[in-house]
Chain A
Amino acid sequence: MNSWNNIKTITKRELGGYFTSPIAYVFLIIFLLLTGFFTFTIGNFFERGEASLVSFFTWHPWLYLFLVPAVGMRLWSEERRLGTMELLLTMPLTTWQAIVGKFLASWLFLALALALTFPVWITVNWLGAPDNGIIAAGYVGSLFLAGSYLAISCMTSALTRNQVISFILSVVICLFFILAGYTPVTDLLTRFASPVVVDIIASFSVMTHFEGFQRGVIDLRDFLFFASVIGFALFTTGVIIRSQRAG
C-alpha cells in the first residue's frame, strides 16, 4: 500500500511537470498534426476506400521512433542535471518505486496523446462501418509499442545527464527494434542467413509483434514480448542508477 502511494506521488509530480512547461502542449500538437499527415496524406486514407485504420496504425512505429524518446529523454537525465536525483533517492522510497512512478507518468501522457486521436476514429466510423474490435486492438498494441520505446528511453536517460545523447541513443536502439523485422531488411537478410536465423532476428522486432495487433489479433506472445521489453528496460534502468552511485 505504502509503495503504491509512493509511486502515485511520483507519477503525479512527473505528470504535472509535463503540463507546467510548454513541452506537453508542443508535443500533443505535433503528435496530432503528424498522425493526421501520415494517415491522410502519406497513408492515402481516402484513396484506399476501406473502412479501417490501417493507414493510421502502420506509421506508429516510425512516428514513435522520434516522438517517444522526446518524451522519455528527460526522465532521469533532468534529475541528474538538477541534482534532484540525490534528493529523490534519499527519500524513504525504493529506486524501483521511483522508476515505475516516472515511467507510468510518461506512459499516461502518451496514452493521453493517443486518446486525442479520436477524431480519426470518428471519421472512419462516419464514413463507413469499420470493425471497431480491430481498431481497439490496434490502439492497445500502439500503447504497448509506445510503452516499449518509452522504457528504452527511460534506460538511456539514466545513462547520461545530457538529454541530447539520451535522445539519440534511444532512437538508435528503437530503430534496431524496428529494422530487425522491417520487410526490406528481412528480405536482405534471407540472402545471407538461413530462414530460421532471420525468423529469430525478426522475432525481436516490434514490427513483427505490432502487426498482430493491427490485424485485430491479440496474441499472448505479442503481449509478453512488449511486457518483457518494458520489464527488461526498466530493470536495466535500476541497475544503471545503482551502479552510478556505487562508484
Chain B
Amino acid sequence: MIKVENLCKHFGAKIAVNDVSFSVERGEVLGFLGPNGAGKSTTMRMITGYYPPTSGRVTVGGFDIMEKPIEAKRLIGYLPENAPGYADMTVRGFLSFAAELRGLHGDARKKAVNHAVEMCSLENVLHQTIDTLSKGYKHRTCLAQSLVHDPEVLIMDEPTDGLDPNQKHEVRGLIRRMAATKAIIFSTHILEEVEETCSRAIIIDRGTIVANGTPAELKARSELAGAVHVQTAGVASAALIENLNQVPGVVRTEVVTDANGRVEARAYPDKSNANLNLTRAIAELAAQQHWQLDEIHTETGKLDEVFRAITLPDTVKAH
C-alpha cells in the first residue's frame, strides 16, 4: 500500500532525511522509532504529501503522492504531530468538516462521524469547542478526524503522546484492532509500544534507516539476547561463576546481584553457534551440583538497549 523509495529531504544545507526506502502492506503495522529530530516527522510529512521530497518517490495505493496527490490523499488518514485542531470549532463540527472534505455528505457523513466518535470515545465532549478540551481529548479528536473516512492507510505521528496510561492502552488496542484491514505507520518514543503493537519496526537516526525488522529480530540484536539468567540460593558467587564459565558455549559471565545468600548471575552464549541450548546445559549443571535453583530463563533482549546502542553517537557510547 505504501511504498517509499530513496526518499531525501533537505532544508537548506541540512539533510533531514537521507535515502530512506521501505514499504508497508495492508495488515502491517510499522513502528517508526528514533531520537528527536531524527527525521520521523519529516518522513511522515512527505508520505502524506505535506512536504514535497527533495528527491525520491512515495506511492500510496499505487498513486504517486506528487503526481496524483488527490487520489493518494483520499486513501490516507493522517494524525499530525501535536494533534492540531481548529480551536473555535466544536468536536462534532470539526469531524463533520473533515468528513465533508473527504467527500462524505448527508447521512453517510453523519454515520461516519458517529462511528469515529464511538471509536475514540468522544461522546462526552461532542459539543465542546476544541480549545476547551483536555490534552487527551484533543488528541483523540484529531485521531477521530484521521479515521472518519475509514482510510486504507493510516499515518500517525506519536498517537499516544500526552495521553495517560489508560488512554495509551486504549489507543494501542484501537491500532491493533484496525491492523488487519489497513496499512499503518506510527511513530513513537515508547519502546514497549512497538513490542506490543507493531509487526515491524524501523529505527531512523540522523535521517537514515539504521535498523529494520520485526520487534523480535531487533531485540535479538541486543547483547543481552540469548543470555541465561539464573537465580540460586546457598551457593557462593565465586563458585557459581567458576562453574558457569566451564559450560561449553559460554563466552562471558557476570554477577547481577549477590545479597542474603542469593546470587543472580548471567551467562552470555557464543552467538555464532546457533545450535547451542545454554539454558538446558545450565539446568543440567545445577542438578549435577545440587544447587537450589530459584529461577532460570533465557533473556530475549531489550529493545531500549538496541535503540541506545544504535542511535547514540559513538562518542557517547564509549562511556
Chain A residues in the interface with B (C-beta under 8 A): 2, 5-6, 9-10, 13, 16-17, 20-21, 82-84, 86-87, 89-94, 245-247
Q: Give the distance to chain B from A154, nearest Cβ to Cβ, in Å.
A: 18
Cross-chain contact of B102 among A82, A84, A92 (Cβ < 8 A): A92
B129 neighbours in A (Cβ, 8 Å) = 20
Q: Is the CB of A84 within 8 A of B86?
A: yes
Nearest opposing residue in chain B for A82, CB measure: B84
Complex contact A9–B86 (CB within 8 A): no
A90 and B103: CB pair below 8 A? Answer: no
Q: Give the 9 A-B CB pairs with smallest separation, nearest first.
A: A83-B84, A247-B11, A92-B73, A90-B48, A9-B100, A92-B74, A91-B101, A86-B80, A84-B84
A17 adjacent to B80 (CB under 8 Å): no
Contact A91 B52 (CB under 8 A): no
Q: Which residues of chain B (74-102) have a CB below 8 Å from chain A?
A: 74, 76, 78, 80-82, 84-89, 93, 97-98, 100-102
Cβ-defined contact, B82 with A87, below 8 A: no
Partner of A82, one of B12, B71, B86, B145: B86
B140 adjacent to chain A (CB < 8 Å):
no
**CB of A239, distance to nearest CB on chain B (Å):** 13
When distances are taken between beta carbons in the complex, the residues of chain B under 8 Å from A90 are 48-50, 73, 76, 78, 80
Q: Within 8 Å CB of B70, what residues of A?
A: 92-94
Task: Name the A residues within 8 Å of B145 (CB-CB).
Answer: 87
The chain B residue with its CB closest to the CB of A10 is: B101
B102/A21 in contact, CB under 8 A = no
Contact of A247 among B9, B74, B78, B100 (CB under 8 A): B9
Docked-complex contact B84 and A245, CB < 8 angstroms: no
A2-B78 Cα distance, complex, nearest whole Å:
21
With beta carbons under 8 angstroms apart, the residue of A17, A86, A245 that contacts B89 is: A17
A92 to chain B, nearest CB (A): 4
B interface residues, how many (CB within 8 angstroms): 38
| B51 near A245: Cβ-Cβ < 8 Å | yes
Indicate whether B189 reaches chain A with its CB closer than 8 angstroms.
no
The reply on B10 being an interface residue by CB < 8 A is yes
Q: Is B26 an interface residue (CB 8 A)?
A: no
Chain B nearest CB, measured from A118 CB (Å): 29
Closest residue of chain A to B51, judged by CB?
A245
The listed residue (B50, B89, B101) touching A6 by CB distance below 8 A is B101
CA distance A83 to B239 in the complex (A): 63
Is B221 at the interface (CB under 8 A from chain A)? Answer: no
| 15 further contact pairs, Cβ within 8 A, besides A83-B81, A92-B69 | A5-B103, A9-B101, A10-B101, A13-B97, A21-B88, A82-B85, A86-B50, A87-B78, A87-B142, A90-B73, A92-B71, A92-B74, A245-B51, A246-B51, A247-B12
The docked-state distance in angstroms from the alpha carbon of A87 to that of B49 is 11
Contacts of A21 in B (CB 8 A): 88
Interface status of B206 (Cβ within 8 A of chain A): no
Q: Which residues of B contact A94 (CB under 8 A)?
A: 69-70
Residues 45-64 of B contacting A (Cβ, < 8 Å): 45, 48-52, 54
Residue among B84, B98, B145 having the largest count of chain A Cβ atoms under 10 Å: B84
Contact assessment for B102 and A91 in the assembled complex, using a CB-CB cutoff below 8 Å? yes
Interface string of B24-58 (1 = CB under 8 A from A): 00000000000000000000010011111010000
Q: List 14 A-B contacts (CB under 8 A).
A: A5-B103, A9-B101, A13-B86, A82-B87, A86-B80, A90-B48, A90-B49, A90-B78, A91-B102, A92-B101, A94-B70, A246-B51, A247-B9, A247-B10
